[in-house]
Structure 1
Amino acid sequence: MITPKEIEQKTMSPEKRKSAKNDYFAFYIGRPLTYVLTIPFLYTNISPNAVSYISFVPTIVGFVLLAMGKNELALFGGWFAFFLWSMLDGIDGNIARYKKQFSKMGDTLDAAAGYFAMALIFFGAGIAATNDAACLLNNWFGSYPNVYTIFGGLSGMCTIMPRLIMHKAMTSIGSKDAGGMKDRTHYGVVKILALNITSVPGMVQILLLVCIFTHMLDLYTVAYFFINLAVMVISMRSIFKG
């Protein structure tokens, strides 16, 4: 019988562990959950690429529920859909490494699904903040409610932009780790803190859940816009400097 421990041993190399463990919630909570959820998939012929394709569905559903939800239950459903994406994002990699089914298309699909989720979770949160009349910052932005949608959309762009530029730099100039962004093993305290705060499978989802039930999606959206903007500027500086 396949066990979570066996999956961990076959999918987590020492090098990968050093890099992954800096994302605390994703490594210590999310990843162990994916080991358990991967087990049923390993008894089927479902390929890693098929799981990657499937992972687009909860991302779209999550965005729609956040954007159109009128109550906490609908917004919670949107959050849960993004949580399901994060589980599938781990499951496809577990299957690939366990069964040694690697492909360039698989890497592309995994990255595309990730970028899709990163952009839409912040955009969806911004629209949800616009629709929530009980938000905290309405005294400041009450006359301009669509400002949260703008902040959310820009926040999503700031999240994926450095990653797109990093991968372009890696393919164009042959750098294996443009700006030192890809290799997390040598991250200092500041980079580790930024990684955890901006981790979509980690703190981003935890805080989103809290803010849904405390009606602080406006604060969440504005705060993450400035955080993601700062991380983008610093990351791009490192890439171009490197």
Structure 2
Amino acid sequence: MTTRPVRIGVQLQPQHAEYAQIRDAVARVEDLGADIAYNWDHFFPLYGEPEGKHFECWTMLAAWAEQTSRVEIGALVTCNSYRNPELLADMARTVDHISDGRLILGIGSGWFEKDYDAYGYTFGTAGGRLDQLREDLPRIESRLGKLNPAPTRKIPVLIGGGGEKKTLRLVAQHADVWHTFVTGETLDHKISVLKGHCEAVGRNFEDIEISLGVPNDAGPATEIGPKLLEQGVTQFTVGTGGPDYDLTRVQEFVAWRDSL
């Protein structure tokens, strides 16, 4: 069992809402005592009305950086295909400064074909997108090291995904946080694979925070939280969509965290 502090994240899905409703939800997330506010990096809703209301990820993160004062912020996750890696590094550095050092750089290889088609990006194959992410992560890191002014801190990198050959190796090489949605024996297996990659690349597995997207139907926080904590999860993220942004589940997890 890890000695890391338990942290509660909230993914405010930027779909089916006016921006005023998203702005209000971010304020409520911070007031409730959550640790992190995430959005996601898509151009269309992922469920519900496919052509419904939706907003862009990084311009929103810049607004959140000004609006909030305590919570960390980030994308869960940025699609690597949508922006030049050097540009993404500069965007991350800028939001890092706007937020006074509260940005988490969440990144993944992308998967939502509709985004690619509508915005003119080449979809390719899952393996090809992961190969591109492997090439781009060092470019992002290099550009972050050259920017003036430099980031306010070593911006934490979160990588989402569970592919055992490519994704988890990238986690071992580059990530401060690994985000997953798997639970139970599958989670134990993925952690074992990640430990193997860490050993292979000379990385201390304990330096990587394990983050989980909590299923809404998985039971109360007081039941599932301790089990996941025993497996090594310390960041618990609840997802909620517009227009109402129900934070009841978030309150439940914050109360459980505070009881520890």
TM over 0.5: no
Q: Point out the structure with the larger helix share.
A: 1
Q: Point out the structure with the larger strand share.
A: 2
